[in-house]
Structure 1
Amino acid sequence: MDAEHNQSAPQSGLDYLRQRINDWHGSAMAETMNMRLIAVADGTATFEAFPSPKFYNPQQRVHGGYAATLIDSALGCAVQTRLPAGIGYGTIELKVNYVRKLDASVKRLLCTGTVIHGGRTMFTAEAKLFDENNKLYAHGSGTFLVYPS
């Protein structure tokens, strides 16, 4: 977190993410990948992204890592919505299923993550990556370790 986003009073994960949506300054990675957090609620988070040929693999399709990063980001932020101030998390397992090719003809992607289980030390979540017509491109799940920040 950079200095301009520090608050004197600690914020819950949900409050922090809501603030980030309202005052979006994406990370360098988010800017590079043309992705943005657009919605959060208790146990859910949604990103939007705009694929382009700059993300292509040698087969002239969007690299699988692009979808995996969106899924991991939505999963992690969904988990963060359930965490109190001063508690962090980290991905310890990520599984992604690719169900159709993705290329730049898809103008906008949405990826929504949802918490399945929230425990004291571990969370699990699932996410779906789809276009504006609800066509599914990938889905995944993850496990997250919870720890004091």
Structure 2
Amino acid sequence: METLRLGTLREWGEGWIKKDWAPAPELLNSDGSLFGGYIAALADQALAFAAMTMVPPDAAFRTINLHVNFIRVGRAHPLWIEARVVATTQRLLTVRADFRRDDGTLIAEASAQQLVAPFGARAESGQ
């Protein structure tokens, strides 16, 4: 988290998180836009944190898919990021997140699924 400068949470509760994030100038592309892969990294972090609030203490989870929909070009402006768990089963959590500029404009949406398994269980891929 330190190397990627993803930051920490502002607040959280069961099934949701909120965070504020501002890009450092050196993280921007030469035209001043925010690299989309960076938004994806922020999404994976925020979605995982929201899932973490719902995972039992004797279990672990892994992101098994991640989708990011870019609505507007991100620039050097602060972002409000909110993520929430929208569906749960015994083994799967579905989470969604919104990325908004400080004026409320939506710049990206993300969703993911998290596979939940007891500690020590082998992954579906056999690894």
Taking structure 2 as the reference length, the TM-score comes to 0.85
Q: Residue in 1 aligned with 2:43?
A: 71
Q: Residue in 2 aligned with 1:146?
A: 116
Shift of 1:130: 0.7
Structure 1: any 5+ residue segments left out of the alignment? 1-26
Change (3 A) 1:34 1:142: closer
Q: Is the 8 A contact 1:89 1:144 kept in 2?
A: yes
Instruction: Report the 3-state secondary structure (helix = DSSP H, G, I; strand = E; otherwise coil) of the residue aligned with 2:9.
Output: strand
Q: Distance in 1 between matches of 2:29 and 2:117?
A: 36
| Superposition misfits of 4+ residues, deviation over 6 angstroms | none
One of 82, 95, 100 as aligned partner of 1:112: 82
Structure 2: any 5+ residue segments left out of the alignment? 120-127
Residues 31-60 of structure 1 deviation map (CA, whole Å, 9 limit, x = unaligned): x42522111111101222111321123543
Q: How does 1:16-31 map to 2 (within 5 A)?
A: 27-29=1-3
Q: How does 1:1-149 map to 2 (within 5 A)?
A: 27-29=1-3, 32-104=4-76, 106=77, 108-149=78-119
Residues 89-136 of structure 1 deviation map (CA, whole Å, 9 limit, x = unaligned): 1101000011111111x1x21111111111111111110001222111
Instruction: Report the 3-state secondary structure (helix = DSSP H, G, I; strand = E; otherwise coil) of the residue aligned with 1:28.
Output: coil
Q: How many residues align?
A: 119
1:64 partner letter: G
Q: Distance in 1 between matches of 2:116 and 2:8?
A: 24
Instruction: Report the 3-state secondary structure (helix = DSSP H, G, I; strand = E; otherwise coil) of the residue aligned with 1:68.
Output: helix
CA RMSD of aligned residues (A): 1.5
Taking structure 1 as the reference length, the TM-score comes to 0.73
Q: Percent identity?
A: 28
